[in-house]
Chain A
Amino acid sequence: MSYTAEMRESIKKVEATRPRRMEETHRRLTLEEQQDLLRRFHPDYLREGMRELRVGPNAGDRTPNEFADLLEARSRVDPRTFDLSRVDYDTDVLVIGGGGAGASAALLAQEQGVRVLLATKLRFGDANTMMAQGGIQAADRPEDSPAIHYLDVIGGGHFTNIPELVEALVMDAPEVIRWLESLGCMFDKLPDGTMVEAHGGGTSRKRMHSARDYTGAEIMRTLRDEVRSRPDIQVLEFAPAIELVLDDKGQAAGAILMNLETGDRLLVRAKTVVLATGGSGRLHYQGFPTTNHYGATGDGVVIAYRAGARLAFMDTMQYHPTGAAYPEQILGLLVTEKVRGLGAQVVNVDGEQFVYPLETRDVEAAAFIRECKERGKGVITPTGQPGVWLDSPMIEWLKGPGTVEKALPAMVRQFKRFGIDIAKEPMLVYPTLHYQNGGVLLQTDGSTTVPNLFAAGEISGGVHGRNRLMGNSLLEITVFGRRAGRAAALKAKEVKPGRLTLEHVLAWERQLAEAGLNPQIVSPLLLPEYTRHVR
């Protein structure tokens, strides 16, 4: 594959300027310049990219058009004809979503001695959790403390986070690391048992725990294996939830699932429900590619909203500055921040720097977009995708030959498959949709504004405020997955279930009509549409 002739021309310029650039450091932006850049180029600030919701508990709040369309769509279920008297599965706690948050919730719920059913869209573990490479934060070194962690989280979130949620996050963190270890997770350690911990963007102490390049995978496969070891937890794969079911007291009381292979509907009756369906990168806001897994389509947020749950921070998404822009096959996949951390500069088509490489993620991403969109200094690939160069060969000059291979094995493997040697040639990168900062509003026990409905993980909003720091998401899914699972089980023991109803779906239809909306699409989306049909 490797690079095209035009791209090679640009690479020659990158090589020509490299010796000079070795001596240069691009100046950092002032706070004012950062704000200006964000306002003009960050996708969150693009007015055309967002609109106000017209119905539901968050009417008047802004969210990306693609999400708004799904939030204001029709149900996949006809509430008039769906037979609620035929129950396919009866359980105490229904967990929806088989990622890290869902698995944690299922385990803690089961430990309270209740029956648990976990339903997920694809295979158990086909989830964003599986893809996290970097690490998980926890303040467990003597030079660190939960209070310092708290400050980092809340500053990273631009002081908008909900304080009680942050407190829960940082105070539970060491316990969560111990819990994961007790289940068999292998964290990176020195021979004497000291955890190997690193900095991440926005941390003031080294507290990033890792499991080689596969931290999320190690956590996910361990949790999954533990769930499979417990006979009291039943797992249903390829069975996404398409609607919540309430009872006549307005409490969450189950869900309607769809057998993804046959299209048949399944009714689950439950005493409490935990939503853990993750993020929404596959909605490709403003046409951005994404780092997320195939099933990240925001389903849980949509069905929770229809059931009356309040959402928070729905107008902020995280774009990672360095997504792969070439080759097409890996478009949008994550190029780890570590590449810049090791000294690689970011340069334009002429081989010139235009931004300090380690600005915060949002500022860095906005600078890339400005370089390509406003200044026309991006490199254009054969598919029309713009990008800028991440000058990885510099690392070999700065840190010695062989460093790239040693420090970035996963990246080397990823690009080598397509004939690109990142130790010798730069990588073309462009911002990619990475993380849903907001979602279903939570209390510290994972409860939502709908009785008996709990939520945890990337689906939720409030913990990270307007911006999440790396390593706090794997932490969030375990901390709040555990809290939500435990609280849902305790609640399940005492609820007096009422009669099942889909009245909220009928009410939703009325609200849409009153707002003058007549949506033609149904939601949740379930899977992105990538299939090409000739006719």
Chain B
Amino acid sequence: MTTQREITVTPDGVSPEQFMQALTRFESVVGPDNVLIGEDRLTPYRKTMMPVADEDYAMSAVLQPTSAEQVQEIVRICNDFGVPVWPTSTGRNFGYGTYAQGSAQGHRHQVVIDFRHMNRILEVDAELGTALLEPGVTYQQLVDYLEENDIPLWVSCPAPSAIASPVGNTLDRGVGYTPYGEHFMMQCGMEVVLPNGDLLRTAMGGVEGSNSWQVFKWGYGPYLDGIFTQSNYGIVTKMGLWLMPKPPAYKPFYIRFRDDDDIAEIVDMMRPLRMANIIPNAVVFAHALWEAPAVIPRSKYYDGPGAMPQADIERMKEAEGFGAWNVYAALYGTPEQIEVNWKIVTDAVRALGKGEIFTQEDMAGTEPFEYRAALMRGGMNLQEFGLYRWRGGGGSMWFAPVTVAKGSETLKQTRMAMEILNRWGFDYCGEYIVGMRDMHHVIDLLFDKTDPEDTRNAHACMTELIQTFRQHGYAVYRTNNAFMEQVADCYGPVQRQVNQTLKRALDPNGIIAPGKSGITV
């Protein structure tokens, strides 16, 4: 049983006595083994990559429920004792807070739900290409299931693939690299434990006996699924998603461009191909300083302070064969379809008069091509973690402003980001992930968290990036816990008020993830 001595922190506003009582009640619901407290068991949960003191974002306990009924009970106990609870599916939100909960300001030390023990694949319909999953199911598990049962469907995963989850990724509105790369677009139907303990099934899930929960997103009346993403209005215990039929043929390819300013022409060349679905997947334009970390440490070409000098970048590009911009895309379909589309793509590159195009055969098993080719068919892979070796020191934040898919815009955003990052002593490790008409401009702000000055600079740099971009009408699509307030402000007071009105209506005691996306009671 839980003893007083093992508890290092309690949630803000909750007394140790109240917290002890709540823990005893939690234990009666999920069993003592599934209430984790004490340094030993919590250590792996508490490491974050944000430029802040991890203690301010440390959870007071971790709960591991095994059923939706248990989650309902947990929520009722939370209401009784005013204990806030932050749900995670697989907790691999690297660069966005990992298992961090709360936003520090008065919302520290929440209890975290770790859904790893709720990991059943509840249904896969091989004909319709749908799945219904519990939150603890990893991409690896889903891929294994499809392979073991010979089901010709592909998943779409983010780069941490094997160790992350479809539910966690989709609920934070993450992205992948196949034609199904905009993950929330491919989500269909949810089961949600509401803050009062009720169990909601969205859309067709509300109709008794319905078999269309995983095929028709909208149901009737207001469409609710959206309000349970990047929010704190409920705890998702089941989620439906669509899986892509495995195409008869698949052709990944790579186009290398020499100059930083080529980004404008790349975007304008690719947009029509993407919009017409000739290239149907979430294409990537990776800068040299994203390409390099996947395969080499920075020290191979530069070991000094501050941002890597341009001359060293050029030397590295030349020696390693990286482009300034590296385009990864793929064709999917029958061999005949691919042949036609390949001609359209190669003609477009030829018409542009720059860019060298390479196929899988040309690249012959080398990285980073291989990992890109794997991701564009939903293959499990962790090669991109090389980013964390680039500079070392364990600090990382994604700065990911939304961009219009127009060349002039990317030129402007890239220059602005580069200037700010370099001035603070950081590299521009950036890429664009292409949507239908938008792009996610994803930059990894890598810093040495073991160095206090580097850490302070990273914090200041992120603040400036968000502010300066805001002045130009840009905002990020997602952020880590330490910057949720600042980012929420970029979206204006009316959105904040509406979010708060919903919060007050659904969760009057503010027990679910207070602070997430800047939303509180």
A is bound by B: no
Q: Report B's interface with A, CB cutoff 8 A.
A: none
